[in-house]
């Protein structure tokens, strides 16, 4: 068996695979409530952001085309795009859409539902459990996700696993708004979250730095 795991083939997970292979906006909303597991910890996804790749989305890492860094974004769907940011943090996206499309969904926040002791051990300075995975970098730190997860098949049985929600999130409980901290297309309402969930991160609009 590959270290990246064999693809799950159950009917329920097949529906998740079909969702991820479709357009990025429905896929992003459908990821809310799904469970992401790694390093002995499982989180219930509560907040995501959609990125449309080369299809007119200047905030996407793939907007200018394929590079060694973003190549996994071009498919197939259901794999992990992990990147390093600000010289200190890892963030993880779920690749969506058809092969060659380069769409992906950033997993922004989640609620720890299993492995709480391991999560606290990884982030001992955090005082409240709702803050353990509140934000994309914190989420990856809590799950122990780093560069080694790049390209992993999330629907397989590898080191990082994505599974459907135990209870799907009703559309009425989903909010939408601008993405956080992006410089391009910052007003597109492509961030989705479970309304009222305390693990959802705070909104911060990008403010260009003054050259003066």
* Domain boundaries along the sequence of the chain: 11-194
At 1, is the pLDDT very low, low, confident or very high (cuts 50, 70, 90)? Answer: very low
Portion of the chain with pLDDT greater than 90, in percent: 73
In CATH, what is the architecture of 11-194?
Roll (3.10)
pTM here is 0.90
Token duo for residue 43: 């989180």
Token duo for residue 24: 């990025």
**Do 136 and 84 touch, CB atoms closer than 8 A?**
no
**Do 46 and 32 touch, CB atoms closer than 8 A?**
yes
At 11, is the pLDDT very low, low, confident or very high (cuts 50, 70, 90)? Answer: low
Please provide the average confidence, as pLDDT, over all residues in the chain: 90
């Amino acid at each position: 068996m590959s270290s990246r795991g064999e693809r799950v083939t159950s009917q329920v997970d097949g529906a998740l695979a079909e969702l991820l292979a479709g357009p990025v906006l429905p896929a992003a909303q459908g990821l809310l409530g799904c469970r992401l597991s790694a390093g002995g910890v499982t989180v219930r996804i509560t907040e995501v952001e959609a990125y449309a790749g080369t299809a007119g989305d200047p905030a996407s890492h793939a907007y200018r085309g394929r590079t060694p860094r973003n190549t996994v974004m071009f498919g197939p769907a259901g794999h992990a795009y992990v990147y390093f940011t600000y010289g200190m943090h890892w963030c993880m996206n779920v690749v969506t859409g058809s092969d060659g499309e380069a769409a992906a969904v950033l997993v922004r926040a989640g609620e720890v539902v299993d492995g709480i002791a391991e999560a606290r051990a990884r982030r001992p300075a955090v005082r409240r459990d709702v803050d353990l995975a509140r934000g994309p970098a914190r989420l990856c730190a809590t799950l122990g996700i780093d560069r080694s997860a790049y390209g992993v098949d999330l629907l397989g049985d590898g080191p990082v696993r994505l599974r459907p929600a135990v209870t799907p999130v009703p559309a009425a409980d989903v909010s939408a708004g601008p993405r956080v901290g992006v410089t391009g297309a910052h007003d597109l309402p492509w961030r989705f979250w479970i309304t009222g969930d305390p693990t959802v991160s705070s909104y911060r609009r990008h403010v260009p730095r003054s050259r003066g």
